Amino acid sequence: MTTVIHCAAVGGSRLTAYDAGKADVVEQNLRMYFNVARCLKPHQRLIYFGSGAEYARPHYQPKMGECFFDSHVPADAYGFAKYSISQHIGRKENMLDLRIFGLYGPGEDYRYKFISNAIVKALLGLPITIAQNVVFDYLYIADFVRLVEKLLDCDWPYRHMNITPTQSADLVSLAEIINEVTGNKAGITVLNPGWNTEYTGDNRKLLEVVGPFDFTSYREGIRELAVYYQSVWDSLDLDVVRADPFLDKCIVTR
């Protein structure tokens, strides 16, 4: 059995100001998906990289299970595209939607992705600035790859699974680990009080399918990522990191 992995997506990030002014995010994502899905042969399966955004941001609950899906329809274009694709996958026996919450590791855009951005700031000796504290599920990319590899070799009793770590973490705690690992003394600044909407998922269905899994701790993942950025330091756009132009694009809960 051959498995096709569809990981392309458009929108849904601070880099695009969460798609402000863009009218084709839904169309582009749907066209990409259906042009892949319609070409599947009888001997082929499809793994689609979905998103926790399918659960509709204003209505997130801590550690959302897959059964929470379709309790609400996402209002944002990116979430609605992912939601629509998930609905289609639910009717297909040869497809699997892996709902990603947070990913971090080498290869992500360090200019605005929180963990990488904070590591580079810390290596520069800059304070880590957080728009508002929030609890997230961040999965280390090496763990993500290992989990997908396991899923390539097993049956899929479910059409949808959250692909998240068991342990969640808030941004301030992650920033404290980053400063400790890098030796940064510049401190942490939180711009807005209170807590943003928690973004975490229940991974019990995933672990039921792949079996016991040893997730990389946040400390170890951050340590490895700090070493990586030190190794590619000369290739980084440090002026953008210093300017932090994407900070004001963060969504804040009032």
Looking at residue 72, the DSSP 8-state letter turns out to be S
Residue 22: pLDDT above 90? Answer: no
218 and 119 inside one domain: yes
- φ and ψ at residue 246, rounded to 5 degrees: -100, -5
Residue 147 lies in a domain: no
Residue 54 lies in a domain: yes
- φ and ψ at residue 105, rounded to 5 degrees: 150, 180
Mean pLDDT of 168-178: 98
Pairwise CA distance, residues 81 & 54, whole Å: 8
Domains: count for the chain: 2
Identity (one letter) of the amino acid at 242? R
Pairwise CA distance, residues 26 & 96, whole Å: 20
Residue range 59-84, pLDDT digits in tens: 999 999 999 999 999 999 999 999 99
36 and 19 inside one domain: yes
18 and 56 inside one domain: yes
Tell me the whole-structure pTM to 2 decimals: 0.94
Q: Would residue 126 be called left, alpha or beta, if left means φ above 0 and alpha means ψ between -120 and 50 degrees?
A: beta
Mean pLDDT of 153-177: 97
Range of the domain at 15: 1-100
**Rounded percentage of the chain residues whose pLDDT exceeds 70:** 97
Specify the CATH number for the domain of residue 236: 3.90.25.10
pLDDT for the residue 114: 96
pLDDT for the residue 20: 63
Residue 252 lies in a domain: no
